[in-house]
């Protein structure tokens, strides 16, 4: 258990470095300093920067998958509605995790393969069996666009406008079975 706790602490420190200093400052040394570990301690859990990036992406994928599953289990949400609700409830930690995707892309585009697989699986989950596949596709893409606008703090919609759009997307998602 201690190993998992230390891995989690290291990942949290990595997300914090990316969030506060930018992706170009993500180094083993910076993560070690942020986590309060020695460089060797970080390297014990993540043998290289590539391994750290892979761990960050795996964490991102797990958060995404578990949020969507949790929303489906809480009610009778269809997969698209669950995805929209999960995005609407993203925490600051989840946004930091999303930055790992950008770090990985800048570092090595092959590292995005697990993320590509997850996006494809989520897309298929949302659109397969839908009575209106095109509308489900457009709602999926709108959700992802809003997620990235939020990630970069570029979303022009705030407060009531944002809530209104989210309610509309949720309503439309609920109409698709």
What tokens does 101 get? Answer: 């995707």
Q: Which residues 6+ apart lie within 8 Å of 137 measured at CB? A: 123, 127
Predicted confidence (pLDDT) at residue 86 exceeds the cutoff of 60:
yes
Q: How far apart are CA 68 and CA 140, in angstroms?
A: 13
* pLDDT band at residue 2 under the 50/70/90 scheme: very low
CA angle centred on 131, ends 161 and 177, rounded to 5°: 60
pTM, full prediction: 0.77
Predicted confidence (pLDDT) at residue 92 exceeds the cutoff of 80:
no
Predicted confidence (pLDDT) at residue 3 exceeds the cutoff of 80:
no
- Report phi then psi at 47, rounded to 5: -65, -15
CB 116 within 8 A of CB 129: no
- Top mean pLDDT of 6-15, 53-62, 68-77 is at 6-15
DSSP string, 115-127: HHHHHHHHHHHHH
**pLDDT tens for residues 113-130?**
888 899 999 999 989 878
Q: How far apart are CA 158 and CA 163, in angstroms?
A: 8
């Amino acid at each position: 258990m201690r190993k998992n706790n230390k891995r989690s602490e290291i990942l949290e420190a990595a997300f914090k470095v990316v969030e506060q200093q930018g992706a170009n400052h993500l180094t083993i040394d910076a993560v070690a300093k942020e986590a309060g570990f020695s460089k060797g301690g970080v390297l014990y859990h993540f043998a290289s920067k590539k391994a750290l990036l892979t761990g960050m992406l795996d964490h991102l994928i797990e958060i995404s998958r578990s949020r969507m599953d949790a929303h489906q289990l809480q009610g009778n949400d269809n997969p698209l509605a669950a995805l929209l609700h999960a995005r609407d409830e993203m925490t600051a930690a989840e946004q930091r995790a999303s930055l790992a995707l950008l770090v990985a892309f800048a570092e090595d585009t092959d590292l995005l393969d697990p993320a590509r697989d997850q996006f494809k699986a989520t897309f298929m989950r949302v659109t397969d069996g839908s009575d209106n596949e095109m509308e489900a596709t457009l709602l999926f893409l709108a959700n992802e666009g809003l997620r990235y606008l939020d990630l970069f703090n570029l979303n022009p919609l705030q407060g009531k406008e944002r809530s209104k759009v989210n309610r509309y997307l949720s309503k439309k998602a609920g109409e698709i079975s």
